[in-house]
Structure 1
């Protein structure tokens, strides 16, 4: 943990059981399934705490929507506090985790939930600007933090 946490005492939910999917659900031919995407990102660790985004209620099953007609996936996350300085990092973690696992034709929008962050517009703009995301991921320190959140053994 780092000193001076923005939210030193977050509310932590119990880890949920993995969803049991029927064989029919697992082999959908009509596009990407929102629950599969959620299952893939739910275990990302929060940058400030040893808890997952799911445990901190930053993500939920309802956080992911898919529009197969528009080939668009939207993930909305809710930071634990209005002035969360890690909101952009959380969004980068979501984007990095999804990269490579989705069909290329899908557009992914990652947004903070409306009204959940003081700089909502700025964070959303940063997370959905390809050049800004690419530049951020080229920073070795930032990339290391993202990788630690995505591939944490502690969970």
Structure 2
């Protein structure tokens, strides 16, 4: 049954990839990074309090994603070291004190992990549900840790592909299991 879910998801993402990325999404992402992101290091240099605030926001975001379950194993992404605290970066958007660009990197357990796209989708869904909509979230596979990282990065940062993937009831059920709170 799991392989059926995975097969459907991969088939969907591959067929979406043939249509190419949404130029609007790519342009939006590029503009935000070029125009809205603070220079690396300047946010902390300007004001120690703001730097501490960004660290707190990054820690809160990590707390949201660390307990996502791996789609294949009973472990969390933190336990498998797929997500890690240093992989969450937060930058202020210039002129907007309550808006951030949030970058999350994750590292699949093996370079040919067939579930990397699904893991990225789970991270995206968890953050989209948990954060205010005014935040810009980018999710990436850590450079050099997956054979098809560029293709997967495009897929998990394309709003149209994410929305279409979540319309698939089997895939949605699998994502819901992974992102469900497991505090009980």
Quickly name the TM-score band, shorter chain normalised.
Answer: 0.7 to 0.9
User: In 1, are the aligned partners of 2:54 and 2:91 still within 8 Å (CA)?
Assistant: no
1:94 corresponds in structure 2 to: 123
1:6 corresponds in structure 2 to: none
Q: Alignment partner for residue 58 of structure 1, among 79, 82, 85?
A: 82
How far has the Cα of 1:101 moved from its partner?
A: 2.2
Equivalent position SS for 1:131: helix
- Rate the CA distance shift 1:131–1:38 in 2: closer, same or farther, 3 A: same
1:36 partnered with 2:65: no
How far has the Cα of 1:153 moved from its partner?
A: 3.9
2:27 corresponds in structure 1 to: none
CA distance, structure 1, for counterparts of residue 150 and residue 54 of structure 2: 33
Give the aligned CA root-mean-square deviation in angstroms: 2.5
Normalized against structure 2, the TM-score is what? Answer: 0.65
Map 1:1-155; keep pairs closer than 5 Å.
33-69=57-93, 71-151=100-180, 153=182
How far has the Cα of 1:69 moved from its partner?
A: 2.7
- Rate the CA distance shift 1:104–1:153 in 2: closer, same or farther, 3 A: closer
- Rate the CA distance shift 1:42–1:30 in 2: closer, same or farther, 3 A: closer
User: In 2, are the aligned partners of 1:50 and 1:154 still within 8 Å (CA)?
Assistant: no
Higher helix share: 2
- Rate the CA distance shift 1:31–1:81 in 2: closer, same or farther, 3 A: closer
- Rate the CA distance shift 1:80–1:31 in 2: closer, same or farther, 3 A: closer
CA distance, structure 2, for counterparts of residue 96 and residue 111 of structure 1: 14
Equivalent position SS for 1:68: strand
